């Protein structure tokens, strides 16, 4: 049996589609726990309509805003069943998602978690062809580099393993799933599998209407800094050697995003400098800001003519 955990905050525009995709599953032995993090829209009304029609839906209302990580932890700790899937309140499952994932765990009963391909959409299903299904390479290196092999809805967890991980890190405002997945790879010791089926079994919404730009950038900056700082210490504590260097790539990924927003006039010069200085202080603290990094960032930031050349960001991400 599978517990589906959904955290909702003011997603009344989208959550009906998410809950409907759960209801339509061919696999019927599920519960769906929705944690509402003090929404001010009509989300609760939509959720309670589903509960009235199907008792497998359950609602937990936070008395104060706790954030996604703490809310997800409340959800999985309340789960009755042995297997857990986390969804955002705008994700969608295909009708056979749960039955396919259940069968995989039956056949691989000793693994801690399993990863599956995930599709994307913007406004409606089918309007984006991108599929998140590139699981090649060293997955730990890729997460530390922010070259993400998978995202939150892609994973079916064994609940006992989530307990071993102590769930999500409540201090993270962004990159919560990236942080959890990075720790999971280390703590599992390789005891997980990915299954690159021909078609995705879940879909992730990439509609930018759901993002408040200023909050998005501020929270992501805090998330990147928290991620780099945490994993510098964590890798050392776990005696995972020669991996901290990849954290420079996470820094560069966000730095290149800041450059893009600055050149697109979405960030003022003062705002850009504030974010860059915060990132630089983090690198200095973690002793990642060596001469090579400073030189590469200088050249990258001061490019004029060939800044928009295709593949440039990929090239710098590889060599930094």
C-alpha closest to that of 16 among 37, 45, 52, 55 = 45
- Return the pLDDT at 208: 63
What six digits make up the tokens of 130? Answer: 């991108």
All structural domains of the chain with their residue ranges: 2-209, 211-319
Average pLDDT for the chain: 92
More confident residue, 123 or 249: 249
pLDDT digit string (tens) for 24-41? 999 999 999 999 999 999
Using 50, 70 and 90 to split pLDDT, how confident is the model at 309?
A: low
Q: Is 210 exposed, middle or buried (0-12, 13-18, 19+ CB in 10 A)?
A: middle
Alpha-carbon gap, residue 26 to 95, rounded angstroms? 6
**How many residues in total does the chain contain?**
320
For residue 198, pLDDT over 90 is answered with no
Mean pLDDT of 210-216: 66
Tell me what percent of the residues of the chain surpass a pLDDT of 90: 75
pLDDT digit string (tens) for 12-25? 999 999 999 999 99
pTM of the predicted protein model: 0.93
Mean pLDDT of 257-285: 91
Q: Which CATH superfamily is domain 2-209 in?
A: Spore Coat Polysaccharide Biosynthesis Protein SpsA; Chain A (3.90.550.10)
């Amino acid at each position: 049996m599978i517990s589906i955990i959904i955290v909702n905050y003011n997603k009344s525009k989208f959550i009906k589609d998410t809950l409907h995709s759960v209801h339509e599953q061919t696999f019927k032995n599920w519960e769906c726990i929705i944690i509402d993090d003090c929404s001010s829209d009509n989300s609760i009304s939509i959720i309670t309509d589903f509960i009235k029609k199907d008792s497998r839906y359950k609602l937990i209302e936070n008395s104060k805003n706790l954030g996604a990580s703490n809310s997800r932890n409340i959800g999985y700790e309340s789960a009755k069943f042995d297997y857990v899937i986390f969804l955002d309140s705008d994700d969608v499952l295909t009708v056979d998602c749960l039955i396919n994932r259940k069968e995989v765990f039956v056949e691989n009963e000793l693994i801690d978690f399993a990863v599956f391909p995930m599709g994307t959409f913007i406004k409606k299903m089918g309007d984006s062809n991108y599929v998140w299904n590139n699981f090649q390479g060293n997955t730990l290196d890729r997460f530390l580099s922010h070259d993400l092999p998978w995202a939150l809805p892609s994973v079916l967890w064994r609940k006992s393993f989530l307990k071993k991980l102590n769930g999500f890190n409540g201090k993270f405002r962004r990159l919560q799933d990236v942080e959890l997945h990075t720790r999971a790879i280390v703590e599992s010791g390789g005891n997980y599998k990915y299954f690159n089926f021909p078609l995705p079994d879940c879909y992730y919404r990439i509609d930018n209407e759901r993002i408040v730009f200023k909050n998005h950038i501020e929270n992501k900056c805090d998330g990147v800094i928290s991620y780099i700082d945490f994993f510098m210490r964590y890798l050392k504590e776990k005696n995972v050697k020669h991996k901290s260097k990849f954290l420079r790539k996470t820094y560069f990924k966000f730095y290149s995003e800041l450059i893009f927003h600055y050149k697109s006039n979405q960030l003022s010069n003062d705002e850009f400098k504030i974010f860059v200085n915060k990132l630089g202080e983090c690198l200095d603290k973690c002793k990642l800001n060596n001469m090579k990094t400073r030189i590469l960032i200088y050249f990258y930031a001061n490019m004029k003519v060939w800044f928009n050349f295709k593949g440039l960001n990929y090239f710098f991400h590889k060599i930094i």
